[in-house]
A and B are shown apart, each in its own frame.
Chain A
């Protein structure tokens, strides 16, 4: 990682740390959601952007994570922080298991199967035999955690929203470091090799089946952890908040933010959190129309998303005067050789 990147990350972290002291409680809550979405988007991006497996049903894993957290807190009396690794583990297994049949599916068919998963999960959560755990249509209400007391003794009294924000920020940083480490290492390279040419990858000794199902599991784990955080932040889970449009929102997030880009997850999360708020003022239906138009525009004009545009812009600005490097093609993924932005 170059010095410039480190500097950018340090500034971003400082800004993120200072943020809750300057904005209202409601805005703090919104930025908490941005952080949560960015984890979910990173999860989906690992699968779709880096490994080339399309998922239109990641809302299902978000829902599973949220429900695991809510049930553990509501029925088993777990503290909120302990639910997050458990949600992650449950989703890791769920994703891995779903990834096994998904191995036989490519491209469109995988999109179809995951679409079916996304559509059929909410009715499953309403199933009356599961009602004693899931609360059926009513869902589960959970309480918002307080800031731990030792912070108050240190003279740093945080309100609930601020504490939740910092807690989420901590988890987000851990997840992004994990994701970054994973993607630049051996497994990450194997994922991208499979995406670019699975036959060549196989010939080079990459275990396609294993890498693909493990990727599915890891991706689901990220999204499930985001789901658990989401349940804690919103204090409520119900089947209808996890319909197919949630999965579509995630897809929109990674396309707008930038496919196969780690920083893209953050741009995408900002987009899916704040654009509907602005568009809501026009009409109830407007956010989706605007989402759709943005999607079309990005696919036609900027297929690498915001992250790709920023990368391209920076490359143009800092290009050497003699201009020896040929321009990178606009379409397609960044090649395996490049450093992951």
Chain B
């Protein structure tokens, strides 16, 4: 029982990270109806930036916020420069562009920082909080950070005019344009926000999986599963999906199928959700008119 509890709690902690990446995927999906295959590599790249800043002697939280800011700008630039030209292209072209982005970011990072694994510091204390024996303080911290990000996003979309404009641009681009919303820039902002959220996830996961250019491969897959379970257009659903996938992955990996097949869990979840209930638990069901 103790072991199970331990696995569930550890699952919640990794789940928080999946939730953040899933949230980033949902951001881009909501704005553009595209699934960003390069999301993981964007996050990885941001984490390397944070690592550079910390190595240069910057305090952790300074580097943290600077990286989030940088990632935001980087996301906006990527959308404007690379994604914009294929906005109305067939799906295949868009997927190919995402894949191109993925391999470029991966190899450029490998080029600059080499492929050797690096350690990444955690901002949270070494010893467990409140003397509990189940979770390290980094795990608790990561969950809290995820929840704070979720709350900030909710507040942004619910209570600010800019958030409202972004939602409008995503829902009905033509009408939004008529009332004076610059739809193109709203999409770029969506990309920026997604990149910023991704960078937070990257910095939270790096102390656990260590920093290397391929660290986000598995995380991205779990995040896909999480986003799909929650319904790919529902941010709160994505967070729920993230925690669920984290717990499932840990518990199944520890007790049922063993660590080697953990990634297969993601595959089964993705294909299962897509075929049985493509809208996930909380997503809108889309009906297309022939």
Name the B residues within 8 Å of A48 (CB-CB).
92
- Hey, which bits of chain B sit against chain A, CB under 8 A? 34-35, 37, 82, 85-86, 89-93, 95-97, 99-104, 106-108, 110-111, 115, 217-218, 221, 224-225, 228, 258, 260-264, 266-267, 270-271, 274-275, 278, 290
Q: Is the CB of A112 within 8 A of B96?
A: no
C-beta contact mask, A91-129 vs B, less than 8 Å → 1, else 0? 000000000010011011101110111011001101110
Name the B residues within 8 Å of A288 (CB-CB).
103-104, 106-107, 110
Q: Count of A residues near B, CB < 8 Å? A: 48
Q: Find A120's partner among B86, B264, B278 (CB 8 Å cutoff).
A: B264
Chain B min CB distance to A94 (Å)? 14
Q: Find A283's partner among B34, B96, B111, B278 (CB 8 Å cutoff).
A: B111
Name the A residues within 8 Å of B260 (CB-CB).
123-124, 126-128
- Hey, which bits of chain A sit against chain B, CB under 8 A? 48, 52, 54, 56, 101, 104-105, 107-109, 111-113, 115-117, 119-120, 123-124, 126-128, 199, 244-245, 248, 251-252, 255, 259, 283-289, 291-293, 295-296, 299-300, 303, 331-332
Q: Find B264's partner among A56, A124, A285 (CB 8 Å cutoff).
A: A124
List 28 A-B residue pairs with CB atoms under 8 Å apart, sorted by A's residue number: A48-B92, A52-B92, A54-B91, A54-B92, A54-B95, A104-B278, A105-B274, A108-B91, A109-B274, A109-B278, A112-B228, A120-B221, A120-B263, A120-B267, A126-B260, A127-B260, A244-B217, A248-B102, A255-B96, A283-B111, A284-B110, A285-B107, A288-B104, A292-B104, A293-B100, A296-B100, A299-B86, A299-B100
Name the A residues within 8 Å of B110 (CB-CB).
284-285, 288
- Bound together, the chains give a CA A54 to CA B96 distance in angstroms of 10
Chain A min CB distance to B49 (Å)? 17
Chain B min CB distance to A97 (Å)? 11
Q: Is the CB of A295 within 8 A of B96?
A: yes
What are the nearest 7 A-B pairs in CB distance?
A292-B104, A288-B107, A295-B100, A285-B111, A107-B91, A285-B110, A285-B107
Q: Find B274's partner among A113, A244, A292 (CB 8 Å cutoff).
A: A113
- Bound together, the chains give a CA A300 to CA B100 distance in angstroms of 12
Q: Is the CB of A119 within 8 A of B275?
A: no
Chain A min CB distance to B80 (Å)? 14
Q: Is the CB of B104 within 8 A of A199?
A: no
Q: Is the CB of A286 within 8 A of B107?
A: yes
Most buried by B among A112, A117, A126, A295: A112
Chain A min CB distance to B212 (Å)? 13
